[in-house]
Amino acid sequence: MPADISSLTGGSLLVAWQLKDKHVLIVGGGDVASGRIESVLAADARITLICPSSGLHPLTKRFIEATDRITYCDRVFAAEDDLVGVDMALTAIDQVEESRRVCALCREHKIPVNVADIPESCDFYFGSQIRDGPLQVLISTNGQSPKLANIIRKRVEQALPNCAGDAISKVGELRTKLKERAPGVGGELGKRRMRWMIDICTSWEMEDLALMDSPMMDRLLDDGWEQNVTPNPDQFKALRGRRSGSASHATSASGVLLPILAFATGVICSGLWMSQRVR
């Protein structure tokens, strides 16, 4: 809790909206709409896309051709009937008045809506986003500076370990295997399971987590979970066929290399200078 509660203002509620098997209406098929389609498909929703074929961006066309999760309607948005069974609506068309009409209808039917480029017609914004497998990051400046959101997104992207998405997937798999081995909800067992997973996540580097494969996970459960210990990743390296470098290793290597080179240059320079003097 901040000392000054009045400082709690000007923000949004950042949330990961669940769309699995939900029905999203997208009005418009241009460049912005194609980005929306990608985000919505990644969230496992079904899409109804309403847009005259003349207005389809090449990417949007490719999405329509590539998946049966999009129901395409070659026409403009008509009326309330288009909102039947819709859980969320996104519009990305140039007609301001038409956008406002869709928004008003959505609000009447309590359907969450985002209208591209008209902030007051949005129940939610998208901000700047990063996606790496199961890892998703949203950066919002609450409308103050989309450009800085973009700059910060790039910095955050650089700071994320290359293997973060893989590490998360593998930890997810390990957790599933652990739950199969020690099933049940809550209670003492649930707590022990959570503690053990936390120990693995904190004591192993993300690079090591990302390199787990199924036999390794099984051995980790045999030698770790069953014995109630947290094995060191080094004990498992022999099991691996491969070992890839990581950004953090590269950084620390250059951090060491530069002083060594500078030291050597110092030795050579003063050697040359001294040898001149001696002559």
Residues from 12 through 71 that contact its own copies (CB under 8 A): 12-19, 34, 38-45, 59, 62-63, 66-67
Closest approach of its own copies to the CB of residue 218, in Å:
19
- The DSSP H or E segment spanning 49 is strand 46-50
Structure tokens at 57: 């961006």
State the catalytic residue, choosing from 117, 199, 218, 223. Answer: 117
**Three-state SS at 72:** strand
Question: Within positions 138 to 177, which residues make up the interface with its own copies, using CB under 8 A?
Answer: 138-145, 147-148, 151-152, 155-156, 158-161, 164, 167-169, 171-172, 175
Residue 264 near its own copies by CB under 8 A: yes
Q: Which of 55, 98, 125, 240 binds its own copies (CB under 8 A)?
A: 125
| Binding string, residues 82-111; x marks residues near its own copies by CB under 8 A | ------x---------------------xx
Supply 245's token pair. 């470098």
**Of the residues 73, 76, 135, 182, which one makes contact with its own copies according to CB under 8 A:** 135
Long-range pairs of 190-199 with CB within 8 A, sequence gap ≥ 24: 192/228, 196/224, 196/225, 196/228, 196/230, 197/171, 199/230
Q: In what order do the strands lie in the sheet with 70-73?
A: 70-73, 46-50, 23-27, 88-91, 113-115
The residue among 54 and 202 lying less far from its own copies, judged by its C-beta, is 202
Q: Please, what is the minimum distance in Å from the beta carbon of residue 58 to its own copies?
A: 10
Segment contacting its own copies by CB under 8 A, of 25-33, 48-56, 222-230, 262-270:
262-270
Task: Provide, rounded to whole angstroms, the least separation between the CB of residue 1 and its own copies.
Answer: 5
Measured distance CA(82)–CA(147) in Å, rounded: 35
Helix, strand, or coil here: 89?
strand
CA dist 246 and 162 (Å) reads 7
Shortest gap between Cβ of 105 and its own copies (angstroms)?
Answer: 14
d(CA 27, CA 55): 11
Nearer Cβ to its own copies (40/50) = 40
Q: Is 117 designated active site?
A: yes
Site string for its own copies, 216-245 (x = CB under 8 A): ------------------------------
The least distance separating its own copies from the CB of residue 18, rounded to whole angstroms, comes to 6
- In angstroms, rounded to a whole number, what is the distance separating the alpha carbons of residues 85 and 256? 60
Nearest-angstrom CA–CA distance, 208 and 214? 14
Instruction: Supply the residues annotated as catalytic.
Output: 117
